[in-house]
Amino acid sequence: MSYTVILEPEQYSPSALALYAKLGSVSSERLPGERQAEELADARVIVIRLGRVTKELLDKVPNLQVIASPTTGLNHIDLEDVERRGIKIVSLKGRRDITEKVYTTSEHTVALLLSLIRRIPGFNQHVLQGGWDRQRFIGSEISGKTVGIVGCGRLGIRVAEILHAMGARIVGTDPYQSKDKIPSWIEMLSEKDLLQQSDIISLHVDLRPENEHMFSKEQFQAMKPGAFFVNTSRGQLVDESALFDALRSDRLAGAAIDVMDNEDPEGEHLKQNPLVEYAQTHENLLLTPHIGGATKESMAMTEDAIALEVLAVLGHST
C-alpha cells in the first residue's frame, strides 16, 4: 500500500515524487478503480491538481492526513467535509512567496486575448483548408484600446503591465486592493464606469461566496457594445448563460475563457453546453481547458514547493 497517492500523475515533477518517497511508498500512475481503491485505503497523503475531492473520495481514504494541491483556488475540494475530518490542506493559497514567481496565467491571458482580437484561430483554419485570403479575418490591435482589469492583484497587475507596454490605456477596479499597491498608470474606476469604457475586460478575481456569478446579465449589458471579454480566473465568477446570450446577440465582439462552471476532469461539463456548441461554429469564442497555470516550468516549481510543505507539515526533515 502507498503512503502517498498522486491522483493526477501525468508529467508530475520527478523531484516532487522523490520528496514524497521520503515519507514512504508512492503511487504515481493512473490505476483502474479497484486497484486505486486499494492504494487509497491506506494512504496518508493524496496529491491532486484540479481533480475534485468529494465526500465519496474521502470515504475511500480513512487514514488521510494531508491533501496536497498546487493551486491557489480550492473550490474543487469539499472544504467543509475536509475540515470535519480534521484533514490538513497544503496549497498555494496565500503563498505569495511562491506565486509571485509564477506568471503563467497572466501570459496565457494575453495569449488568449491576442488570439481572439487578431482572429488567429480563424486564420489558421483558413490556411489549413487551402486559403490565403488576408482580408477575410481582419482583426484589431491592443494599442490605443482601453483595457479594464477587474481584480488588481498579482495576476491582474501583471496582465496590465504587459498590455500597458503594448500601448493600451489601463483602467481597473478592485474594492479589496489598497491604492498604494496599484501602479499610478492604472486609472481606478467604479465597476460601472469600467464596464462602460473598456474595449477589453479581463477578469482576475478570487472566487468567494459573495462574488459567484459576479458577471451576469446586468454586467454584460452594461459593457461597451463590441467589447471583448476574457476570464482566466474561475468559471463560477461568470453566469455562462448570460455570456452565451451576450455573444449570440452580438453585444460582445468575442470572448476567451480558460475556466468553466462545474469543471469536471473528464469533460462531463462540456456535454450539451451552449458555449461549447457556439464555439464549434463561431470563431469569436475561444475555450481552453484551465491551462493558465499549466506550463512545465510553473508546474515543476509549484509541485516541488508543495511537496516540501507536505513533508514539513508531517514533521519530516528534508
Q: Examine the residue annotation and report whether 30 is marked as an active-site residue of this protein.
A: no
Q: Which three cell numbers stand for residue 142?
A: 491592443
Backbone dihedral region for residue 250 (phi beyond 0: left; psi -120 to 50: alpha; all else: beta): left
* 315 burial type by CB count under 10 A (0-12 exposed, 13-18 middle, 19+ buried): exposed
Question: Is 234 in the active site?
Answer: yes
CA distance 150 to 170: 11
Q: Length of the chain in residues, anyone?
A: 318
**Cross-strand partners of 67:** 46, 89
C-alpha 300/C-alpha 75 separation (Å) is 22
- Looking at 164, 290, 303, 309, which residue is catalytic? 290
Residue 100 annotated to the active site: no
Of 108, 158, 234, 251, which residue is the catalytic one?
Answer: 234
Cell of 82: 475536509
| Active site (catalytic) residues | 234, 263, 290
